[in-house]
Amino acid sequence: MTEFDFILNDFDTSKVSNGSVTWKTPSNIALVKYWGKQEPQIPENASISFTLDACFTLTTLEYKLKKHQPELVSGSHNEMLNQVQHDESCFNFEIYFEGEKKEDFKPKIQQFFERIEQYVPFLKDFDFVIKSRNSFPHSSGIASSASGMSALALCVMSLEKELNSTISEEYFNKKASFLARLGSGSACRSIEGELIVWGNHSKIKGSSNLFGVKFPYKIHKNFKNYHDTILLVDEGEKQVSSTVGHQLMYNHPFAKQRFQQANENISKISEVLQDGNLKEFIAIVESEALSLHAMMMTSNPYFILMKPNTLKIINKVWEFRAKTNSNICFTLDAGANVHILFPEKEKETVNNFITSKLIQYCQENHYICDRIGNGAKRLSNN
């Protein structure tokens, strides 16, 4: 498919006057990372992620068809005409996060609407109220933009479905992923589960730079119900945003080598996910996490998102694995928090290790028990 396949040409806004839709959309954790992109939101390398379950964004989109004729409005005819033209040419929306109005969120949503308007041209026909909340700390490195933008994209697609009921579920999901990508690259991996690949790759059938696809091969039983416990080392907003971090890859001295490394790791982890080699899985996933942060520390300007307790947790994991031969491993997103990954069969042993040895390094002993999820769910508005 190309981007032209996602342009909506035939719709009738008179079918829908007002309503609301709610989606619960998970975050995801990349096993092979993407760090660096081209416009418009095209990844420099392919990535693959576990879809999560307990870490999610809940977003409600309320919509009301704009009135194209002014009612009792004071002023001259030209003033009224200008006001109508202004209303019809602008995106009109309010956004609330965790129950509070968020004016500082509006520029990102405005940019998102501008990017997707050609594919969903009905946006300017409606007034919107966006109400959103997370089950985890915002902007702390748990891919809040991924779950947030994918939830909004799904809400927009639900409105498109109201306007054009003929679209299939497959098309709905692909276009939702396509739209979400234009808000936040990793958001395209939060529509479905359990394993999602984003980016063209010769070893992944059906892979695309335009949207995420489900891992197309049979996943070994070792990776079923895989766990991800997230240790919240720092719940505050990270000092350098992912958007800035991606931009610093443009002139990075090791960018080319990094993109090659990631694409090679996609080939390796594809085989691992099928044959169940947990030791090789650990080697790839931990190397990817450290490579991501190495890019941050060698960019210009350089920066560090890990905290001292991040490193303490990593060393504790290594010590525990060497002593017990456990298949526990860690990965990192673009932040200080540590994702502890482990198979279902080791949950009791690893959970005991986490609660007895690791949570002391978390901010206020906070952590989140999560596992692989099945993707986004539409919720009833009744």
Token pair, residue 143, equals: 């891919």
Per-residue buried b or exposed e for 285-296, using 16+ beta carbons within 10 Å of the residue's own CB? bbbbbebbbebb
d(CA 277, CA 325): 14
pLDDT category at 67 given cuts 50, 70, 90 is confident
Residue position matching structure tokens 């619960």? 24
Q: Which amino acid is at 200?
A: N
d(CA 334, CA 234): 12
Token pair, residue 319, equals: 């010590």
Does the structure show a pLDDT above 70 at 72? no
**Would you kindly state where each structural domain of the chain is located, as residue ranges?**
226-371
Terminal CA-CA length for the chain: 36
pLDDT category at 141 given cuts 50, 70, 90 is low
Torsion (CA) 335, 337, 343, 347 in degrees, nearest 10? -170
d(CA 52, CA 371): 6
pLDDT category at 283 given cuts 50, 70, 90 is very high
Does the structure show a pLDDT above 50 at 235? yes
Q: 226-371: what CATH class? A: alpha beta
Taking the complete model, does pTM exceed 0.75, yes or no? Answer: yes
Does the structure show a pLDDT above 50 at 86? no
Average pLDDT, the chain: 92
pLDDT at residue 12, rounded to an integer? 86
pLDDT at residue 15, rounded to an integer? 80
pLDDT category at 74 given cuts 50, 70, 90 is very low
User: 373 with 365: CB under 8 angstroms?
Assistant: no
Q: Which long-range contacts (CB under 8 A, 24 or more apart) does 1-8 make?
A: 1/174, 1/208, 1/210, 1/211, 2/210, 3/119, 3/178, 3/210, 6/119, 6/174, 6/175, 6/178, 6/179, 7/118, 7/119, 8/119, 8/120, 8/121, 8/122, 8/160, 8/163, 8/164
- Of 51-65, 77-91, 309-323, 348-362, which range is least confident? 77-91
